[in-house]
Amino acid sequence: MLKKRIIVCLDVKDGRTTKGVKFLNNIDVGDPVEMAAEYYRQGVDELVFYDIIASARGTGPILDLIHKVASQVFIPFCVGGGIGSLDDIRSIILAGAEKVSLNSQAVKNPSLITEGARVFGNQCIVLGMDAKRDETSPSGYRVYINGGRVKTELDAKEWAIRAVELGAGEIVLNSMDADGTRAGYDIDLTSMIADAVSVPVVASGGGGTIEHIADVLTKGKADAALIASMVHSGDYTIENIKKNLNMQNIPVRIISSEND
């Protein structure tokens, strides 16, 4: 059985890691380079680095900061925010990332998914999707872009299916309703998308307890759980999350004792 992954998200604004609730009221929580090194030491499986204001500002990725983070970790590292061209993707991979997350720019220019997959491989192209409950949308969820600021006409399930057809090799699925609340992942949303596509789905938004993670990895059918607040706050470590999941017979990668 494939092991489930625990992924830490660093939302970065002006070079600092921040955390908000439902995309609002972000507060500074630390230096992304130092935080990346600490989560790597704890045994995180992957890191995701989002420049949360790049798309809204129309700016490109912060390559020097990406390089500094990449130099601290030897695990898959995904970067998102303001990626609008093949040159941007190439620059981020050369800076040390293994994957790029296309969100707003994928909606505005879907061919970027296809071209990115063709040039760099499907495994490098991640669809980042911010979805919010909307009863007027066919699946009950609508896609938002520009850091949750702009409502689109896209239905979440339809967009996930199309993006995979275009070449996305993974989906990071963020529930805007649950984001930062620490009240639990949106199991309905996650399982719906996981059932609809053939690529790994990473659940994001709402992780607050180990039981929330266990639920989304089992009932939600997610391949990985993305967390932020629950470890940024110091309430949990990657080690105790994984040990607890392992005790529940959820397969995870346990780091060697020398890193415990």
Catalytic center residues: 11, 130
Identify any residues that bridge with 145 across adjacent strands, giving them in sequence order.
Answer: 150
The upper half-sphere exposure of residue 61, i.e. CA atoms within 13 Å in the direction of its Cβ, equals 30
The upper half-sphere exposure of residue 132, i.e. CA atoms within 13 Å in the direction of its Cβ, equals 15
Q: Which two tokens stand for residue 107?
A: 């909606």
CA gap 260, 255 in Å, rounded: 7
Q: Which residue has the tokens 């409950």?
A: 133
Query: Which phi and psi angles does 115 have, rounded to 5°?
Result: -65, -40
Question: What three-state secondary structure class fits 257?
Answer: helix
Write the secondary structure of 186-248 as one string of H (helix), E (strand) and C (coil). CHHHHHHHHHHCCCCEEEECCCCCHHHHHHHHHCCCCCEEEECHHHHCCCCCHHHHHHHHHHC
